[in-house]
Amino acid sequence: MIAAREIQVEKIAKSRLADTPLENIPFGRYFTDHMLEADYAGGEWKSVKVVPYGPLQLDPSTAALHYGQAIFEGIKAYRDETGNAYVFRPYDNWERFNKSALRMNMPTVPEEIFIEGMRKLIGVDKEWIPTMKEHALYIRPFMFSTDALLGVRPSETYKFLIILSPSGPYFAAPMKIIVEEQYTRAAPGGVGFSKNAGNYGGSLLAATEAKEKGYDQVLWTDAFEHKWLQEVGMMNVFFMMDGVAVTPSLDEGTILAGVTRSSVITLLQEMGIRVEERRVNIDELLAAYGKGRLTELFGTGTAAVIAPIKELRYKDFSLEMNLDKAPVQNELRARLAAIRSGAEADVHGWMWKV
């Protein structure tokens, strides 16, 4: 196994850190000085190294650009008052990354490249971790096929990279969501559970049309009836009904198995709130809302953490949520922040020290 210390580092000549505003920094627009790069060929990973962040040179026939063998992850790193860097549950993302890889007929990435590479890279660019509230160093591991060939077949060569982006919150304000009834994100047997680039590309038109109607994102529904709820934009979704937290189950393979989703389920259970992972449809939500039993809606994701939803639109119905009374999502947000900052004991071992 490659240890982090064995990964070669080629340092940038002049750091860009002094020119980067680490406070109130937008999501995903600035990148640190270095990136991790590894290449797969001849059935094995080779040349793992940390190099200056910069453009890649690609053949115009690079397979990923044509046939979409491309997957990614989103992870966050934090820094405590003493300067130690921590990453939130990176092994869960590593496992999910490899599930995405298998589904997309790509090679898996071993721990010594994904985890040790991340350790090395963050070690080199540790000063870039923002410390401001709701800020983090967003970690983006990704892999794509690199064969220069237009034939449709799994590539024989791949590139794996990790880039780092100091970032503030993804959503600045509570969201207005519309139930999607025309487009489909995922169907059983498809690739909905995997974090492949195409899932995001395929969602953009629906999101654009939602914006034109005055909404921030769509709530995806099943491919057949457009009634069964899946996820919000690029986040998992939770509904508080009668004091029970309901979230769509992962069973059909149409939903991303969110790491924040899983953390939220654990925290809800600790808070004494029953969690139901099951099928849930829009009629149930409307009925619960009509009787005053639907009290909170929120999205969960690495980038967004806990994203409040203030309105859900379905046909002529508008479900308006009172965010002044949102105790569950507020407590979840506060507890996740406390675990990340070290103010609350990390009893689940979620914080991984770099």
Binding site for ligand COI (CB under 6 A): 74, 200, 234, 301-303
Residue 117 or residue 299: which is nearer to ligand COI going by CB?
A: 299
Could you tell me the smallest distance in angstroms from the CB atom of residue 147 to ligand COI?
Answer: 26
Closest to 126 in 3D by CA, of 215, 22, 56? 22
> Residue 117's CB: how many other CB atoms inside 10 A?
27
Q: Do the Cβ atoms of 63 and 147 come closer than 8 Å? A: yes
**Letter for the amino acid at 323?**
L
Residue 48 or residue 305: which is nearer to ligand COI going by CB?
A: 305
Cα(281)–Cα(299) distance, rounded to whole angstroms? 16
Task: Go through the chain and tell me how many residues it has.
Answer: 354
Could you tell me the smallest distance in angstroms from the CB atom of residue 191 to ligand COI?
Answer: 15
Could you tell me the smallest distance in angstroms from the CB atom of residue 74 to ligand COI?
Answer: 2
Could you tell me the smallest distance in angstroms from the CB atom of residue 92 to ligand COI?
Answer: 12
Residue 295 or residue 302: which is nearer to ligand COI going by CB?
A: 302
> Residue 123's CB: how many other CB atoms inside 10 A?
15
Could you tell me the smallest distance in angstroms from the CB atom of residue 234 to ligand COI?
Answer: 4
Residue nearest to ligand COI (CB): 74
How far from each other are the two terminal CA atoms of the chain, in whole angstroms?
Answer: 17
3-state secondary structure of 342: coil
Could you tell me the smallest distance in angstroms from the CB atom of residue 176 to ligand COI?
Answer: 19
Could you tell me the smallest distance in angstroms from the CB atom of residue 262 to ligand COI?
Answer: 13
Residue 7 or residue 141: which is nearer to ligand COI going by CB?
A: 141
Cα(20)–Cα(28) distance, rounded to whole angstroms? 13
Closest to 83 in 3D by CA, of 285, 316, 351, 354? 354
Q: Do the Cβ atoms of 131 and 23 come closer than 8 Å? A: no
Q: Which residues contact 312 (CB under 8 A, 6 or more apart)?
A: 177, 178, 179, 219, 285, 297, 318, 319, 321
Residue 236 or residue 295: which is nearer to ligand COI going by CB?
A: 236
Residue 62 or residue 194: which is nearer to ligand COI going by CB?
A: 194
Q: Which string of b and e fits 212-227 if b means at least 16 CB within 10 Å?
A: eeebbbbbbbbbeebb
> Which residues make beta-bridge pairs with 40?
45, 158
Could you tell me the smallest distance in angstroms from the CB atom of residue 94 to ligand COI?
Answer: 14
Residue 91 or residue 200: which is nearer to ligand COI going by CB?
A: 200
Residue 62 or residue 167: which is nearer to ligand COI going by CB?
A: 167
Cα(215)–Cα(212) distance, rounded to whole angstroms? 7
Could you tell me the smallest distance in angstroms from the CB atom of residue 4 to ligand COI?
Answer: 23
Residue 163 or residue 303: which is nearer to ligand COI going by CB?
A: 303
